[in-house]
Chains A and B, each alone.
Chain A
């Protein structure tokens, strides 16, 4: 089934509940060295939660996640740290440290985990920022740059230690089409020659089909479809077709009311402004 050899990530029967709601329900898939796996799915369907289970920052209700052949769900903190030195993660929000400058953010993993000289660190930081098109922004603080720029700094930081495995949570949301292409090119280039493996969460279909070697679509907590980009494009599943073509009408439910949307039925409507209607403006 794979042409790349070694399995880097192995997820088996992963289940995660928050309260009595299963956000991830029986998820299984593998990722092989050198692949780019794209995870798609509507907002709130559990994509970020799935990534968090793969990096060991959330524990599953049941099931197994193996990274580099080791079970991450059963590891002690020390062992998880050892695995994390080999992976990089770009968070959906960027998650830059607000008290540090852009340059210091990218330098942070290098300063903490290597014995490189300040000059060498500065050179690497400049090179990583150049890769994401941010030359000369080293001295700005995260609150002085735009959302898309934060994302790219987050990517530069994730790449600082030359990871074997990269997780990107919506790397291209908030980027213009040209910057999106730059980031996609970068991801492709880094995975060439099986140097790096990447798991990318994306809503952006152009970008997803440009980079993916395999794709997974999530919906109602499980995998709706998975396969190569061609298999997904030609999928007969109407949910997949609706999602990749961005059509408003189709089998994917619009959450019109809580009764219809069983996923959120545990949330009780709360009356506020007691007797009056919900958004009733008090008059007179």
Chain B
């Protein structure tokens, strides 16, 4: 826990203070991480989001049919996706795919003395390794979430269009009417917070590995479990703040 707080403080320094002392981030490593963390995860995100959209629409159809309120299916798909399912499920994918990879990569660097070598070359590991991953995650997770939302809405449309008697224009109209911008923004804020949680937990686990290859494996598993738990608890807290307390 002490290490984790230290990592966060150091990260804040390198992001908020160091750029004003002339040590600006290098752009190329951030882009490389964005491709790895974000672009390569896009197919998995698309498949997940589509399945969720389809599932939500089918469940909504089932429940709303008895009330004769099938016209509200797009509302339900849209709101559930934007506020909850989009940010959470896409964070789950990114934890499993990118969070674990970052923990394993940094952990391997730790046990093979690469981190120590950086320090001896007077290169700060947080600046050199954590900052680009953090910024990439902070951009890509919300971006993936927006992308996933679109695909999920497409899944809902597929059910409405082909299994029920909605027409396309009707679905789009209804969906757009039901959601306001706050639904979108709240989801974006959530995924930015999740991005922070995921990448700091993964980097912290990697940088503190001890005990060779076995240690790398344990740290990777631990980081996935911790990130999942922290993300889900944080989601409940944020939903409480955004939609309950207000």
Contacts and interface: CB of A to CB of B under 8 A. Distances in A.
Given A85-B122, A113-B122, A98 B112 contact: yes
Question: Which bucket holds chain B's interface residue count?
Answer: 10 to 19
Contacts of A109: 121-123
Contacts of A57: 116, 119-120
Contacts of A87: 120
B113 interface: yes
B117 interface: yes
A237 interface: no
A91 B113 contact: yes
Contact of B112 (A81, A85, A95, A112): A95
A171 B33 CA distance: 34
B109 A91 contact: no
A112 B121 contact: yes
Contact of B120 (A82, A89, A92, A98): A89
B113 A93 contact: yes
Contacts, number: 48
A45 interface: no
B114 interface: yes
Interface in B85-118: 105, 108-109, 112-114, 116-118
Contacts of B108: 98
A194 B112 CA distance: 33
A93 B113 CA distance: 8
A112 B121 CA distance: 9
A84 to B, nearest CB: 4
Interface in A97-127: 97-99, 108-109, 112-113
Contacts of A96: 114, 117
A109 B117 CA distance: 11
A108 B116 contact: no
A105 B121 CA distance: 11
A93 B123 contact: no
Interface in B117-144: 117-124, 128
Contacts of A112: 121-123, 128
A55 interface: yes
Contacts of A81: 122, 124
A150 to B, nearest CB: 11
A83 to B, nearest CB: 9
Contact of A91 (B116, B122, B128): B116
A82 B122 CA distance: 8
* Chain B interface mostly: helix
A84 B120 contact: yes
A18 B122 CA distance: 26
Contacts of A157: 121
Nearest to A48: B113
Contacts of B122: 81-82, 84-85, 109, 112-113
Please indicate which of the listed interface residues A57, A95, A96 has the most CB atoms of chain B within 10 Å of its own CB.
A95
Contacts of B128: 112
A91 B117 contact: yes
A151 to B, nearest CB: 13
B196 to A, nearest CB: 24
Contacts of A97: 109, 114, 117-118
A93 B212 CA distance: 14
Interface in B58-81: none
B116 A95 contact: yes
Interface in B35-85: none
Nearest to B108: A98
Contacts of A93: 112-113
A92 B118 CA distance: 15
A280 B123 CA distance: 50
B23 to A, nearest CB: 10
Nearest to A100: B114
A67 to B, nearest CB: 12
Contacts of B113: 91-93, 95
15 contacts: A55-B120, A82-B122, A84-B121, A85-B122, A87-B120, A91-B116, A91-B117, A95-B114, A96-B117, A98-B109, A99-B105, A108-B121, A108-B123, A112-B123, A157-B121
Interface of A: 55, 57, 81-82, 84-85, 87, 89, 91-93, 95-99, 108-109, 112-113, 157
Given A91-B113, A93-B113, A97-B117, 8 more contacts: A81-B122, A84-B119, A84-B121, A89-B117, A92-B113, A95-B113, A98-B114, A112-B123
Those 7 A-B pairs whose CB atoms lie nearest each other, nearest first = A95-B117, A95-B113, A84-B122, A81-B122, A89-B120, A109-B121, A85-B122
